[in-house]
Amino acid sequence: MRDLGTGFRYLLKGQRWVARHGKQYGFGLIPGLITLLLYAAALVALALWGEDFVSWSTPFADDWSSPWQGLFRGFLTAVLFALGLLLSVITFTAVTLLVGQPFYENLSEKVDRDVSPDGTAPESGLPLWRELWISGRDSLRIVLRAALWGVLLFALGFIPVIGQTAVPVIGVFVTGFFLTEELTAVALQRRRVELRTRLTLLRSRKTLVWGFGTPLAAAFLVPFVAVFLMPGAVAGATLMARELMGEETEEDRDKGSLPDAGPGTFSPSGV
């Protein structure tokens, strides 16, 4: 249970860090705003032409009598829009991080330098195109995993009682885990930690991950909130990545203790 509180404190520390560094916060807002506009355009298009798409894709219902045809296609249109909305929430972070890779990479490095006892930040040593390729590839893998979970939870949502109580709670926890993976990836990729190793590392500290990601996932359900919390979320995830890797900060040195890296030892190379 202690890890839950620790994860939440990292989320708050990240927001406080960007509040003290206004320039970094301003630059960090740009990718979120771009992604928000893209998603808003997609959802508006889905709302305007979703009914036409459903009619085109269900020709077998053309001869159905009223009101069954309208009820059937209206239900499918609502399901289509709800699924699009769910997937937009799940994938928003991944797409924003991909769009804003240079912005968030710079922000994460500055956080590392700010809290590191020697004022340095780990570097991958890879060219920018290679970093973008790895980030895009890993983001696609995570988005596919998250989308599968999203479709499964959406289907389970139709189960009476459970679908309206337990499933939404599980959904927030699942979304929180994937959000944390995407956010910590910014710092961990610079440490050459591969996706499989990152997932193993995060699963070994699930309560820490949930403490960070679950309240963030709940906040992201509120329109526009994700845009304004993203810079601080990246900063907080960088701080948490340092603990996951067992790296010391100035605060740890002042306290005379090292962060708890949890069970297992993970090298920066991810092996």
- What is the rounded end-to-end Cα distance, in angstroms, of the chain? 29
The stretch 212-240 carries a mean pLDDT of 89
Q: How far is CA 52 from each of CA 76, 79, 251, rounded to the nearest angstrom?
A: 11, 14, 58
For the question of whether the overall pTM of this predicted structure is more than 0.85, the answer is: no
Instruction: Calculate helix-pair angle for 225-244, 101-115, nearest 10 degrees.
Output: 50
Rounded Cα distance between 90 and 103, Å, is 21
pLDDT bin (cut points 50, 70, 90) of residue 183 is very high
Return the pLDDT at 201.
92
207 in Cβ contact with 7 (< 8 Å): yes
Return the pLDDT at 229.
92
Q: Is the pLDDT score of 4 beyond 80?
A: yes
The stretch 157-180 carries a mean pLDDT of 85
* CA 66 to chain CA mean position, Å: 44
pLDDT tens per residue, range 116-137: 888 888 887 777 778 778 878 8
Return the pLDDT at 254.
56
Return the pLDDT at 259.
56
pLDDT tens per residue, range 194-218: 999 999 999 999 999 999 999 998 8
Return the pLDDT at 215.
93
Which residues are CB-neighbours of 218 under 8 A, at least 6 positions away? 172, 176
pLDDT tens per residue, range 101-111: 888 888 999 99
Q: How far is CA 68 from each of CA 55, 76, 207, rounded to the nearest angstrom?
A: 13, 12, 48
Rounded Cα distance between 193 and 236, Å, is 18
Locate the domains of the chain by residue range.
2-255
H-helix segments, the chain: 2-20, 22-57, 68-99, 101-115, 128-156, 166-190, 195-203, 206-220, 225-244, 250-255
Q: Is the pLDDT score of 255 beyond 90?
A: no
Joined tokens for residue 222? 């509120």
